[in-house]
Structure 1
Amino acid sequence: MVLAWEYTNDGSDPLSPHKPEPMKFIEGKELKERTGVLTWKLDNDNYEQQLSEICLKRGYSGSDVLEMYPELSDDYNAKCEKFFTEHLHPDEEIRLWIDGAGYFDVRDPKDNWIRMQVEKGDLLILPPGIYHRFSPKPFGKTAFKRIFTEEPIWIGHNRPADDHPARIKWLEMASQQFQGIEVV
């Protein structure tokens, strides 16, 4: 199970190695109802069958792997900065962690932060239009599989993007507690 909690940014460094003091832990059902985010814990080493079933059901056929290792990447800090800039995507974002860990933050409709600690075996599906950001820095390294339809489309729209059609649709779905989000 992905560990998720609501927190406030008290002005301290959100990327410090220490977790901000949780305001409230959030279980999977509440996370889905507040944000539309779906989570799974897959078998760390034998996840292919589970992942194939999820991808088939959701219409995904491609993937690649992004590795972020400070000791092996000249652009590690630039990648961290890019991914930690709050943004949204017009498409679903699916990520499976295959190494390391990180913090994945999303905003709920009231603009509260929800932080998820992701690690090997964690699968996240974010709905289009949700504001989010990611950082492996407190943990040092991470590698994740990015899953997509036929061709990868990584179009991010930095906040503010409140007039983007995906954001408008996300807010509409939030008002109905994401009843249309299908859980596999």
Structure 2
Amino acid sequence: MLKLPNHKSGIAMPLVISFIVMAGFTNHVFADNAKAGSASSLDSIQIYCMAEQGGAAEPDASFTETIIDLAASSDPAQRVSALSQLAEKGSIDAGVVEKILQTAIQDADPNVRGQAVYAFAQQGCGDLFVVLEQALQDTELSVRLMALDSLGADERSVALLKEIVEDEDETEAIKDLAAMKLESLSTSSN
């Protein structure tokens, strides 16, 4: 049960609670408190990776075991290493990739989440745009930058880049990178 701090004013706390309930934020608030500080917008994403069709190489058991061990490490640097290696499409079963990315995309460490976003984009799993769109809502700048960098040249990505550039609430670093990416896309299409 969530314990609320005691306040001297008997009206302030019930007023705040009423506002939260009326605004519909109770599930969000309680979920965030239950997760003990996980501030990722990627917590609700479901990763789906399809096995490659046709002439795909048999999964390499040794490589797979190494990646699984690194991904399960308590050391975030080891988990980042696993994801860096996953970004290179190696001989690993799609189901294993899916499980590792699912865990990593929800990791408490922003470096792991950022690398998971990059690996996800490189692997071409599921609906890339949905994952990138959610990653752009992450509280950590590094995760958002990785998502922004992973956006493609398709119409949806270009529209999202334009939205970011025009968003007054967005950080300058994100807006600048979005503007540079848009400029790069427009010069490469000419």
Q: TM-score range by the shorter chain?
A: under 0.3
| More helix, by proportion | 2
Structure with greater contact order relative to length (CA < 8 Å, sep ≥ 6): 1
| More strand, by proportion | 1
- When the two structures are superposed, what TM-score results if normalisation uses the length of structure 1? 0.25
- When the two structures are superposed, what TM-score results if normalisation uses the length of structure 2? 0.24
Larger radius of gyration: 2
